Amino acid sequence: MATNIIKDSEKTFSSPLFALYFISLLSGFSMGIFNPLISILMKQHGVDEVLIGANASAYYLSIAVFSPLAGVLIRRWGIHWIIFTGIFITAIATTMFPLTDQVTNWFLLRILMGVGICLYMVAGQTGLNLYANSKKRGVIVALHGAAFGVGFIISPLIGSFLYAHYPEYAFVFGSCVISLGILVVFALDKTLQEEKYLDALNVFKKVQIALSGVFIYGALEGIVVTLLPVYLINQSLPVEISSLPLPLFMIASGLGMIPVSYFGDKYGHWKILLVSALVGMGTLFLMLTIDYVHAITVGAVLLGLSVGTFFPVTLAMIGNQLSKSEMPTGSALFTASFSYGCAAGPFVASVLMSLLGDKHIFSLIIILLLLLAINMLVKSSDRLQLSANK
């Protein structure tokens, strides 16, 4: 395949980057609107909660499992064709959801959705790092994440309204919205050199810290969304208090992305990730030990500003640590790590809660953050020692 060398863009809003921001906005919209709509649809057809949960898990696992293949396809066919294919698959699968009432079909369609979203997520993250100016990479990645967050926040409101008044059109509307990405996808007309052999294990070793960070973020996000509401109910907190932590975490995470990523560009993403991990670990420990009614709300904000910003910081680290030919593989590993975290976090945390008590809702995250911090400190020490020897 012919090689088309991708140079750093000097602008934060160049045409390719704007296209990726727009696609990210649509991606957030589609994930925010379809996830609750599918659960509501299955519930209205009398499907058991366990199967509804399993259906959601199948979605995340399909993203994780298919990610490595997505990286291979990007090198073979180019970023724009993979995003186009992912959007097409997702649009078709979601349109077909209300056309059947068979649980088996819903599982197959949800897996197909996961494959489609995996394609344009991995390709979009690859393109983001390839087009980004290395000096502004963190901020560019944060803008990409902010666009996703805006779509994710507004879509459930629109989706719920449509499903309540026009249920037959809700899924079609969502499919049409995500299909708008096709209008801008061919601004991404760059291709990559297809290499006969690429050592994925070597790529993994290079970005192990970043992958650990995004796995922790995925696990925390899954716990906050699925288990935190249950934990707060069990603590018998007032309704006005128990309803605050989730939105506060999401808002703080969204608002913190750009400034934290800016500091990452300025002082180094490694240092910012380590500081965020330590702040997050301390915050979680205090949230679970201080018996104060507002500790959980203050902690949610601090958690959003620290661990909640892991996604853009770690994705920027991927871009800084890999060559252009390694970028698709790195993006695939990144998406897989995030998805595995989303799937594993709530499961392990729920087991710990059932065995050791509700207070252990965040024990898994505290342990993972501690291990990440220790690993980073050891590697930092090794770097300093190597530098001194030279």
pLDDT tens per residue across span 62-108:
988 898 888 888 888 888 889 999 999 999 999 998 899 999 999 99
* 236 vs 308, residue with greater confidence: 308
The answer to whether residue 351 scores a pLDDT higher than 90 is: no
Phi, psi (rounded to 5 degrees) for 84: -60, -45
Is residue 238 very low, low, confident or very high in pLDDT (cuts 50, 70, 90)? low
Cα-Cα-Cα-Cα torsion 315, 320, 325, 330, nearest 10 degrees, comes to -30
Per-residue pLDDT of 183-192, as tens digits, reads 888 766 555 5
Q: Kindly state the DSSP code that residue 197 receives in the 8-state scheme.
A: -
Distance CA 131, CA 280 (A): 31
Determine the pLDDT at residue 36: 73
- Check residue 353 and give its pLDDT: 86
For the cut 80, the answer to whether the pLDDT of residue 349 exceeds it is yes
CA dist list (Å): 144 to 5, 181, 230: 22, 14, 31
Output the CA angle 210-328-310, nearest 5 degrees. 25
Percent of the chain with pLDDT over 90: 23
Which residues, in sequence order, are CB contacts of 314 under 8 Å at separation 6+?
Answer: 209, 210, 211, 213, 214, 217, 269, 273, 334
Map out the domains of the chain with their CATH numbers.
Answer: 15-191 (1.20.1250.20), 201-384 (1.20.1250.20)
Measured distance CA(210)–CA(335) in Å, rounded? 11
Instruction: Report residue 12's pLDDT band, with 50, 70 and 90 as the boundaries.
Output: low
| The pLDDT of residue 3 | 39
pLDDT digits (tens, 9 = 90+) for 271-280: 999 999 999 9
Is the pLDDT reported for residue 222 higher than 80? yes
Higher pLDDT pick, 321 / 34: 321
User: Looking at 13-17, 193-197, 283-287, which range is the least confident one?
Assistant: 193-197
pLDDT averaged over the chain?
82
128: pLDDT strictly greater than 50: yes
Q: Is 72 exposed, middle or buried (0-12, 13-18, 19+ CB in 10 A)?
A: middle
In this prediction the pTM is 0.80
Predicted local distance difference test score (pLDDT) of residue 383: 59
Give the pLDDT band (50/70/90) at residue 240.
low
Give 295's pLDDT tier (boundaries 50, 70, 90). confident
With 70 as the cut, is the pLDDT of residue 256 above it? yes
Distance CA 175, CA 27 (A): 11
Please give the pLDDT value at position 190: 54
Query: What is the pLDDT, as a whole number, of residue 1?
Result: 38
pLDDT single digits (tens) 315-333? 899 988 888 878 888 888 9
**Span between the terminal Cα atoms of the chain, in Å:** 41
Average pLDDT for 214-226: 88
pLDDT of residue 198: 60
